[in-house]
Copies of this chain bind each other. A is one copy, B any other.
Amino acid sequence: MKKLMLALLGITLAGSAAAQMKPEDAIKYRQSAYSTMSWNMHRIKASIEGAYNKDDVIKAANVIQSLANSGMGSLYLPGTDKGKGWVETRVKPEFFAPANKDKVGKVAADFNREANEMAKIAAGGDAAAVKAQFDKLGGTCKGCHDDFKIKD
């Protein structure tokens, strides 16, 4: 019972710590994390299209994996459906719609799974396998963007 109480308290405190984050900071962190992923997707692409650099692909895949597993969902606080981080957020209101909860969960889980797989395959150093996984991973990025990101 004491453990349960402490666990509940932990959740509450963690929740309030997240609640203390300013919406503009949460949006900035989101934009930063996605931009960091973009850098690293470009690095993998450069290796696939040019001279394959195993070490570079591993480093890039590890960054993407760590961000996929980081719990970025906590950055989608109430009040961050609109607002400015580095720039105005491009998240669509549909992302926050309760009716889309399962759909959002699915695109997040798809990305997470393929990012973890990318890191495994990168470690193997097989360029053809990396290319195939890169396409799969990119597909999960696009899957979310199509539904939940305002076009450039």
Contact = CB atoms under 8 A, between A and B. Distances in A.
Interface of A: 9-10, 13-14, 17, 21, 25, 28-29, 31-33, 35-36, 38-40, 42, 46, 50-53, 56, 59-60, 62-63, 65-67, 69-71, 75, 86-87
B50 A14 contact: yes
Contacts of A87: 86
Contacts of A71: 56, 59
Contact of A70 (B9, B21, B38, B63): B63
A50 B10 CA distance: 9
Nearest to A61: B66
A45 to B, nearest CB: 9
A33 B74 CA distance: 18
- Per assembly, the copies of the chain total 2
B50 A60 contact: no
Contact of A63 (B14, B17, B66, B75): B66
27 contacts: A10-B51, A10-B52, A10-B53, A13-B50, A13-B51, A14-B50, A14-B51, A28-B35, A29-B35, A29-B39, A31-B32, A32-B33, A32-B35, A32-B39, A33-B39, A36-B36, A40-B70, A56-B71, A59-B69, A59-B70, A62-B66, A63-B66, A63-B70, A65-B66, A66-B66, A66-B67, A86-B86
B66 A17 contact: no
